[in-house]
Structure 1
Amino acid sequence: MTTQQEQAVFTTADAVVRELVRAGVGIAFGIVSIHNMPIYDAILREGSIHLVCARGESGAVNMADGYARATGKLGVVITSTGTGAGNAAGSLVEAWAAGVPLLHVTGEVASPYLGTGRGYIHEMKDQLAMMEGCCKRAYRLTRPDQAAAVTRKAIGEALSAPSGPVTLEIPIDYQSAIIPDSRVEQMSVPVSVQDKALPKLPAGLLDRIAAAKRPVIWAGGGVISAGASAEIKQLAETLGAAVITSQSGKGSIPEDHPQCIGHFAAMELTKQLLQKSDLLISVGVRFRGNETSNWKVTVPEMHVSIDADWHAVNRNYGAAYGLVGDAKEILQAVLQSLEAYSLKPDAAYLAEVKAVRDELRAHLRATLGPYEQMLDGMRSVLPRNAILVRDVTVQANVWGSRLFDIYEPRTSIHASGGGIGQGLPTAIGAQAGDRDRVVVLMAGDGGFMVNVGEMAAAVQENLPIIVVLFDDAGYGVLRNIQEAAYGRQVAVDLLSPDFVKLSEAMGFDAVRIGSPEAFVAELKKAVAARRPSMIVVDMNAVGPMAKPFGGPPGAAESFKPKKLS
């Protein structure tokens, strides 16, 4: 029991926890350690933050990441020092690639031993540099009595656009240091919503937008971060524009909308549509290499780039206008200004856009073979607002990320950085953020084994995630790329465990199926059960796709021997 004397003591750890509570944090993920115990104890004493115990630091970061993506709130993860922080690094790279607002609190060795190389437990050469390399920003607390200010600064940095993961490392001796219970307040004059003016647009911009005959909108993850999905849909309908989405931008506009091309930017038909376009408005798009055939997709000269990041302007594609700021506010200003133009979308162009949309989907569907029935079954069984999490695997890449329609923001989560194995803990975090939604993970057997231990965390938290595991006893994507590039395969065959027995031992309901019909029936049962569940898809029994997936366009060709120019 806490004594009155203990209650009167205020420590650095208490200051950190108070700032988390002030920021609205109600859940944190992590692993307790000798280098973060004071923070864990402060969370226990404060009492309002629920702690989710991961089985590894990598998974803990993914959980906080999934939570943030599904809810739009700050994700918080607490790890140990040295090896613990190193285990977190790869998953922090994923959060950085996806622009996820995440606070990573980690310990450090005792302050007298920092940088000495004397072998203090969990010591590493330069932890802060490692964290800086995988985060938006990394801070080290250098004075215990500055804990509140530095924590608030780190939280603000994580949340401010462009958002991203921020590490705060605190030497272990500082965490339990008694400090003054002082208050830190940022003084500013509040601006009412009514008084807030919309951004002023550059002269001539609206005339050029209104004059476009073949407009295209490219919607990225920045649309979802800014909460600008309604504005994207309204702008598309006002201009009569085709809408391409990046992988991160899925859900920016309902994917059953007739103007939504979707996540097909690198496909030939989409390339041709862009080549004939006279206006591109990109919003919060990174233009990643694997989504543009390594920037071989061409865009029109009249390119209006809207992004919260100054570095995004002209980074991958030139822009006639670079509008830096809040996407929602900028789009509202554009929409308000366009009211004076009385625009009428071109019916012939809209018909062309829909034809491209339909042909892209029909072409990809023709490659699926028996998995087409599984795709349609998933979409018919799952609620419109179900959250689909995708690890890197063949079926997720081919149809999970393209043909499975997403209707709402924050219901599509994928590995932006391309790392395998992060899907399970990410799905756990997403489900922890909204226990009432259906959360489904698409994963392959190879990637799933990377963080398989986190199944125990899902059961301990009683989270009813549904894992759809595509088991082909290997790294299927790499098999196909190697076969196309070299005509042979190496290091891609894996010995799978009995996933049903493994799942049941962990506390999951589990079943193995060998046909699309059985899959749909078992998915219905899993959705109704609201328990941690796994459906193992025996891909040998189901059969091959009609056309093997060879990776992103041009992937195999890029690995063949060639002379560098």
Structure 2
Amino acid sequence: MKTLVQTEFTAADALVNELVQAGVEAAFGIVSIHNMPIYDAILREGSIHLVTARGESGAVNMADGYARATGKLGVVITSTGTGAGNAAGSLVESWSAGVPVLHITGEVASPYLGTGRGYIHECKDQLAMMEGACKKAYQLRKPEQIVSIIRKAIHETMKAPAGPITVQIPIDYQSAIIPKSRLQEAAPNVDAVPSKTKFHFNREVIERIVSAKRPVIWAGGGVIAAEASKEVKTLAESIGAAVITSQSGKGSIPENHPLCIGHFASYKEVKELVKSSDLLISIGVRFRGNETTNWQVEVPEEHIAIDADLEAVNRNFDVAYGLIGDAKYILSQILESLSEEDISPDPQYMEEVETIRNQVRDHLRKTLGPYEGFLDGMRRLLPKDTILVRDVTVQANVWGSRLFDIYEPRTSIHASGGGIGQGLPTAIGAQFGQKDKVVVLMAGDGGFMVNVGEMATAVQEELPIIIILFDDAGYGILRNIQDAAYGRRVAVDLLSPDFVKLAESMGFTAEKAESAEAFVSELEAAVSRRKPSMIVVDMEKVGPMAKPFEGPPGAREAFRPKKL
């Protein structure tokens, strides 16, 4: 095949130059007649690895998983119209989780924008569709402005609160010849950089922290994004605070720490602890409905909220002191001030925290039945820095998100928006970004089929992900909710393929496990093999949990007939 040397400089070339300048090493997506000039420019530049997904939805999830596992910008490239629409659902997940994803999509040729004339892949109002799924969506109006708009989009997606940004580029603009505009931004004055200046928070904040006898820290995804885990752990130990984490905040503090209660905020014992506390310090927490029993947790009046998002303050719970900015920087300033204070954590309170920590874990363990052996085997065999990706399924929700201890930031990934089927491509992106780590996906058979084709992507990219597929031939969570709410079921039983044969046809090594003992043996082999692997758990043979999971708190009541 001939190598074509292109001498003209196009808008697509300018776009690729901006990505390279931003440190982008990988892009996920699907090539199309409406993004081919961009793909060709990436090929010619040569430094960005293109990962070809099997669907636009999966491509976005891959970029998302890559960004979560690495802390870098995730980049995804899709086509216009249907292709952009396919990406929208996964972009909602990135928005919900606050993940920095740059979505570059094509558009119809500029003369036909908004005309409704039937140009191939035309969408009635693609910009509005993307705006609804993203933090922000931009339309390139003039080819010569490509550098400005891409640079602006990269800044915007990384700026707290982070989130996905879409840039749509008409197909004729992509191949338009433009001048090489080199935009150089002035370096900021050193004195204006936050890390070089003192954060002048109210002195009462420090006094309130020092005087607290029953403090609670609620750590969210903002801790991970700000790389503030070390500061959170130091603060907790300095003042003797209980640490609750959100789903996104898992890994903010090692979950084997005696002060770490973890992701149990909706549990009765933890709600009572928060209610009786005299100080809550929330850090980068969204306080999602399903994590707070739809905001029924009672928080103390003395609430210090640290968040990069000004709009987050007082959105779900009242705040007495709002500290807006980078969590790592603000916490370091608080710790510096506290070092000058005489603080004596209450040992009796710290014992109470550890007791509650153990209680909620023991209570949950008793509901697992035979799956307790799965949990213990996973934690024993998997390295401490294993990245655990969880799709929406019973086993992941019940114990994968709570009892499987996470020790490091960016090693716990879940579906923040609650959409099923996104786990597999998310795990692929995470493994691509962290090739030397073990990446394990927990998924259910119902959700897994949504993006099952992406198994081929994992094999093509030689990614040694381990899939643990819990097969109960249906939507297990919805079955349990329907049983509890109605005593009957509808549309929850599914015909499953032979997942072992399916996985093998895709190039995976696959085995079925019908007991905890068999599962542990297969997991040990998969960890050692370092090749794409799947373990299909036959849940009928393993048996039911000791107590059925009936959905998030309040789910049963929400679906029963009632007067509003």
Equivalent residues in 2 for 1:527-546, closer than 5 Å: 527-546=527-546
Tell me the equivalent position of 1:273: 273
Instruction: State the Cα distance separating 1:194 from its structure 2 match.
Output: 11
Q: Could you say which residue in structure 1 is the equivalent of 2:408?
A: 408
CA distance in 1, matches of 2:64, 2:550: 29
Cα separation, 2, equivalents of 1:372 and 1:195 = 46
Please say if residues 58 and 91 of structure 1, whose CA atoms lie closer than 8 Å, have aligned partners that are also in contact. yes
1:316 aligns with 2:333: no
In the alignment, what sits opposite 1:161?
Answer: 160
What is the aligned partner in structure 1 of residue 143 from structure 2? 144
Residue by residue over 1:481-528, the C-alpha shift from the partner in whole angstroms, topping out at 9 and shown as x without a partner, is: 010001111000000000000000000000001000000010000000
- For structure 2, list consecutive stretches of 5 or more residues without a partner in the other structure: none
SS of the equivalent of 1:440 reads: strand
1:129-187 Cα deviation digits (max 9, x unpaired): 00000100101110101101110000000001110000000000000000001101111
TM-superposition CA deviations, 1:335-362 (whole Å, max 9, x none): 1111121212110000000000000000
Deviates more, 1:182-191 or 1:486-495: 182-191
Question: What is the rounded CA distance, in whole Å, between the counterparts of 2:118 and 2:421 in structure 1?
Answer: 32
1:262 aligns with 2:236: no
Contact kept? 2:259, 2:350, Cα under 8 Å: yes
One-letter identity of the residue aligned with 2:252: S
Q: Which residue of 1 aligns with 2:75?
A: 76
Structure 1: stretches of 5+ with no match in the other structure: none
Question: Is 1:385 the counterpart of 2:385 in the alignment?
Answer: yes
Q: Which amino acid aligns with 2:37?
A: P
8 Å CA contact 1:201–1:333 kept in 2: the answer is no
Give distance in 1, aligned partners of 2:409 and 2:272: 28
* Aligned residue type for 2:35: N
TM-score normalised to the size of structure 2?
A: 0.99
- Return the alpha-carbon distance in structure 2 between the equivalents of residues 347 and 405 of structure 1: 24
Residue in 2 that maps onto 1:562: 562
1:185-237 deviations in Å (ceiling 9; x for gaps)? 11133528897023111131111111000000000000000000000000000
How many residue pairs get matched?
562
Alpha carbons 1:198, 1:329 under 8 Å: kept:
no
Instruction: Determine if contact 2:440/2:468 at 8 Å carries over to the other structure.
Output: yes
Matches within 5 A, 1:102-251: 102-191=101-190, 196-251=196-251
Q: Structure 1 vs Structure 2: percent identity of aligned residues?
A: 73
SS at match of 1:84: helix
5 Å-filtered alignment, 1:427-466, equals 427-466=427-466
Contact (CA 8 Å) 2:195, 2:329: kept in 1 or not? no
Task: Please tell me whether the aligned partners of residues 220 and 283 of structure 1 are also in contact (alpha carbons under 8 angstroms).
Answer: yes
Q: Is the 8 A contact 1:198 1:330 kept in 2?
A: no
Q: CA RMSD in A?
A: 1.0
Say whether the 8 Å CA contact 1:242–1:260 is kept in structure 2. Answer: yes
Q: Secondary structure of 1:204's partner? A: helix
Q: Alpha-carbon deviation of 1:2? A: 4.7
Q: Which residue of structure 2 lines up, in the alignment, with residue 525 of structure 1?
A: 525
| AA at the equivalent of 1:205 | V
Q: Helix, strand or coil for the counterpart of 1:340? A: coil
**Deviant stretches of 4+, over 6 Å:** 192-195
> SS of the residue aligned with 2:94?
helix
Q: Which deviates more from structure 2 when the two are superposed, residues 186-195 or residues 479-488?
A: 186-195
Supply the distance in 1 between the matched residues of 2:248 and 2:189 (Cα, whole angstroms). Answer: 33
Residue type matched to 1:162 in 2?
Answer: P
- Alignment-derived partner of residue 368 in structure 1: 368
| In structure 2, C-alpha distance between the alignment counterparts of 1:190 and 1:54, rounded to whole Å | 43
Structure 1 window deviating more from structure 2 (41-50 vs 547-556): it is 547-556
Q: Secondary structure at the match of 1:473?
A: coil
Name the SS of the counterpart of 2:457 in structure 1: helix
State which drifts further: 205-214 or 217-226: 205-214
Distance (whole Å) between structure 1 residues aligned to residue 194 and residue 89 of structure 2: 44
Distance in 2 (CA, whole Å) between partners of 1:237 and 1:385 is 23
Q: Is 1:292 matched with 2:300?
A: no
The amino acid of 1:139's aligned partner reads Y
Asked if the contact 1:117–1:125 (Cα under 8 Å) also holds between the matched residues in 2, the reply is: yes
TM-score w.r.t. the length of structure 1 is: 0.99
